[in-house]
Amino acid sequence: MQGQSQQQAYDRGITIFSPDGRLYQVEYAREAVKRGSASIGVRAKDGVVLVVDKRIRSPLMEETSVEKIHKADNHIGIASAGHVADARQLIDFARRNAQVNRLRYSEPIGVETLTKDVTDHIQQYTQVGGARPFGVALIIGGVDDDGTPRLYETDPSGTPNEWKALAIGSGRDDIQAQLEEEYSEDLELDEAVGLALRALGEVHDEGLAPEGVGVATVDAESRSFIELTNDEIEEYLETEDLLATDEEEAEESDSEESEE
């Protein structure tokens, strides 16, 4: 009975390590990320691509209200997986830091600098009593001053990692396997969009609907964040033979879970 009580103390206390060196609340936050709909990032030689599964639960839902891709600055985009409300807090934090950097130094913030600012903020919530970790992971992609594309992942523990291509959220293992198999450092931006959509298609056997997918790019030359329209996404899906039929879309809508 006493052992069970001790286990509950480690379970509930965010600032208490278990005897085997684990923070259970951080691990639970990672599980929340795994339950979120997938987001994918791919670094091309001329930019960065972000692709997300919007998971629209009902035909009555306004698709524009499902926000999983965000513009942090003119040259940086962010995709999320996990609790949407937690993601919004971190996105607002990132935007404020990007604007403060412009005002203070008269230059855009670096992608790595912004990522580490965000992960430092996340890490604080693993050391403060009375708070919980953020139940969300972010993909932060953008272009530095010298035109170098950068792609980072943030973890609920506050750890930043740089990637060439990655997936977060549900179906990560299958998507990541597809990315590892097909990724090349010589990919151009259009090819990277196709790769990300094919990888997302690995967890959608029934195909993808344009309104259920979000795609954004950050071009290295113009250093500008651009979110693709449904018509542009549909063209990519048709090219990759991933477009769902109306019947398949209806089946998908009926079978989807109610998680974000």
Query: Does residue 49 contact residue 41 with C-beta atoms inside 8 Å?
Result: yes
Domain spans, the chain: 36-255
Query: Does residue 109 contact residue 93 with C-beta atoms inside 8 Å?
Result: no
Query: Does residue 29 contact residue 133 with C-beta atoms inside 8 Å?
Result: yes
pLDDT tens digit string along 45-104?
Answer: 999 999 999 987 778 888 888 889 999 999 999 999 999 999 999 999 999 999 999 999
pLDDT tens digit string along 158-197?
Answer: 999 999 999 999 999 999 999 999 999 999 999 999 999 9
Query: Does residue 224 contact residue 233 with C-beta atoms inside 8 Å?
Result: no
Question: How many of the other CB atoms lie within 10 Å of CB of 128?
Answer: 10
- HSE-up of residue 237 (Cα within 13 Å, Cβ side): 25
Q: Give percent above pLDDT 90 in the chain.
A: 75
Query: Does residue 197 contact residue 213 with C-beta atoms inside 8 Å?
Result: yes
CATH: 1.10.3720.10, 3.60.20.10, 2.40.160.20, 3.40.50.2000. Which one for 36-255?
A: 3.60.20.10
Tokens of 221: 């030359």
pLDDT tens digit string along 92-119?
Answer: 999 999 999 999 999 999 999 999 999 9
> Helix, strand, or coil here: 227?
strand
